[in-house]
Structure 1
């Protein structure tokens, strides 16, 4: 997949901040980067689909197959890692 424009220049730090902002706005509470969103009760498994849609639209990704596992959406850090990997710009964090 080719990533163009603004998405091509996003760093892991930028994605991380954007995801924290998105979650804070959606669930109206502060989220820690390594906090398990599901086991903490902050979000439901139904919210996982909203996360998939958000990531696909915000970062021009297709999340399919083995990437559609709940573990990829548990924390802001795992979502950041997923975005970076799918964009082919994985960075050590």
Structure 2
């Protein structure tokens, strides 16, 4: 995992735990299957990722599999972040 993705994972995890402090969440767990996601929170995740990481999520990246796990969201941020 790259440094950008590792940092992204930490920040995404912190965002989710800020909403669900009782959650015991690993980066590989499916947050949809765990019941933490509804349509409103899914949109909040999209907005959080765009604002926090300065990326725009193209429509073809708005797939549920890109948001199932912290690892998947980190990989998405990594793909959309321009290389230095």
TM-score over 0.5 for the alignment? yes
Correspondence for 2:15: 22
Q: CA deviation at 1:83?
A: 0.1
Contact 1:16–1:77 (Cα < 8 Å) also in 2: yes
Correspondence for 1:84: 78
- Following the alignment from structure 1 to structure 2, what is the Cα–Cα distance between the partners of residues 50 and 11? 21
Structure 2 unaligned residues grouped into runs of 5+: none
> How many residues are paired up?
80
Correspondence for 2:5: 12
* TM-score (normalised: structure 1): 0.78
- Following the alignment from structure 1 to structure 2, what is the Cα–Cα distance between the partners of residues 44 and 19? 16
Greater length-normalized contact order (CA 8 Å, ≥ 6 residues apart): 2
1:48 paired to 2:55: no
RMSD: 1.4
Structure 1 unaligned residues grouped into runs of 5+: 1-9
* TM-score (normalised: structure 2): 0.85
Report the structure number with the largest CA radius of gyration.
1
